[in-house]
């Protein structure tokens, strides 16, 4: 059944991939485009199944389920724009991040046995206290253009991160700046120029842009697995990063890249990749194979299909506490 799903624009790249599912997605919009109300923002090739809807009109429309993507959506937005009947529809909460306040003892804002809580990595589900809420894990799925191939002819590493300066140590701004002293690195993303980076690259142009770089560097200490990592792997870039959170399950040392908690060891390995393009190409080929097996869009869409079905089942079986993996 083709569902009518209301959700908010919280993470543009993720929303783009989510809307590859064969359903109709409705994005509430407000004139000033505050947080979550940007709708079909530019930079993405939105499909015909993605629709903007004025926030004031939401309560008058018919939907099959509601997908929350932030604490604000759950605690504030639903009471501002949804009718009471709409708040009884099948509901899902997509949690994009690991817990911030405490890595192991933070209780999730949702505590509802009739709602499905979707985590994007197994690490995140492990660390959150999800209360009574049924959970599942849907790992990322990404798409890159088939006609773009990795060349690695640019003897530099690439870092993709939005707001790296302001997000500080959690995203590894200090690690990035230390590595820059010994390895040629370029930073792209929102506010990248404040750290000497190149600025923001539109999502539609990012694949072609990064395919020339020798490797992808992920200096992040504590966050979810970045979509940019999955996209870089899918193109054939070897990945170098901190051995934290979910990345340790994705990258095999000296096979598809290199992860370590020793920054000096990471710097040394990046220097090896700069000096040896054949090594980089070999590791990148395995990274690409791993990404195709693990992060393909077909698996991702099927997992979301299963999640929507489970959310509907939960809404009709209030005592159900089943979970998926």
What mean pLDDT value characterizes the chain?
A: 95
Please give the pLDDT value at position 321.
39
**Distance of alpha carbon 205 from alpha carbon 22, whole angstroms:** 25
Burial class from Cβ neighbours inside 10 Å (0-12, 13-18, 19+) for residue 242 reads buried
**Distance of alpha carbon 165 from alpha carbon 261, whole angstroms:** 21
Share of the chain above pLDDT 90, in %: 95
Please give the pLDDT value at position 320.
40
Q: What number is the average pLDDT over the span 52-56?
A: 98
Q: How far is CA 263 from the centre of its chain?
A: 24
Question: Contact at 8 Å (CB) between 239 and 233?
Answer: yes
What is the per-residue DSSP string for 218-285?
E--SSSSPPHHHHHHHHHT--EEEES-GGGGGT--BTTTEEEES-HHHHHHHHHHHHH-HHHHHHHHH
Please give the pLDDT value at position 317.
61
pLDDT in tens, 78-100: 999 999 999 999 999 999 999 99
Element (H, E) at 126: helix 122-127
pLDDT in tens, 8-46: 999 999 999 999 999 999 999 999 999 999 999 988 999
Q: Does residue 322 surpass a pLDDT of 80? A: no
pLDDT in tens, 204-218: 899 999 999 999 999
Q: What number is the average pLDDT over the span 142-161?
A: 96
Taking Cα atoms as reference points, which of 113, 83, 120, 79 lies closest to residue 98? Answer: 120
pLDDT in tens, 288-320: 999 999 999 999 999 999 999 999 999 876 444
Taking Cα atoms as reference points, which of 133, 102, 132 lies closest to residue 117? Answer: 133
Q: Residue 274: CA atoms inside 13 Å, Cβ hemisphere, count? A: 15
What Cα–Cα distance (Å) separates residue 232 from each residue in 3, 61, 150?
32, 39, 9
């Amino acid at each position: 059944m083709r569902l009518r799903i209301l959700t908010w624009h919280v993470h543009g790249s993720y929303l783009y991939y989510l809307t590859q599912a064969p359903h109709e997605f409705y994005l509430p919009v407000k004139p000033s485009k505050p947080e979550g109300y940007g709708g079909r923002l530019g930079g993405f090739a939105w499909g015909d199944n993605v629709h903007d809807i004025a926030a004031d009109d939401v309560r008058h429309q018919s939907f099959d389920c509601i997908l929350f993507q932030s604490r604000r959506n759950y605690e504030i937005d639903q009471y501002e724009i949804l009718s009471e009947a709409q708040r009884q529809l099948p509901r899902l909460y997509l949690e994009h991040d690991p817990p911030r306040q405490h890595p192991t003892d933070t209780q999730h804002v949702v505590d509802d046995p009739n709602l499905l809580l979707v985590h994007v990595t197994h690490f995140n589900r492990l660390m959150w206290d999800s209360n009574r809420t049924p959970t599942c894990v849907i790992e990322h799925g990404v798409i890159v253009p088939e006609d773009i191939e990795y060349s690695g002819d640019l003897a530099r590493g690439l870092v993709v991160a939005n707001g790296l300066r302001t997000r500080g140590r959690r995203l590894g701004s200090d690690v990035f700046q230390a590595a820059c002293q010994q390895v040629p690195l370029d930073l792209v993303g929102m506010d990248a120029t404040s750290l000497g980076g190149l600025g923001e690259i539109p999502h539609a142009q990012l694949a072609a842009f990064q395919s020339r770089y020798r490797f992808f560097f992920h200096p992040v200490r504590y966050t979810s697995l970045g979509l940019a990592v999955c996209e870089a792997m899918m193109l054939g870039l070897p990945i170098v990063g901190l051995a934290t959170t979910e990345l340790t399950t994705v990258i095999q040392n000296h096979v598809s890249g290199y992860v370590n908690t020793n920054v000096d060891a990471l710097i040394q390995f990046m220097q090896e990749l700069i000096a040896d393009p054949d090594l980089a190409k070999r590791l990148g080929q395995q990274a690409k194979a791993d990404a195709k097996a693990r992060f393909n869009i077909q698996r991702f869409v099927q997992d979301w299909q299963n999640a929507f079905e489970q959310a509907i089942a939960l809404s009709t079986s209030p005592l159900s506490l089943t979970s998926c993996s």
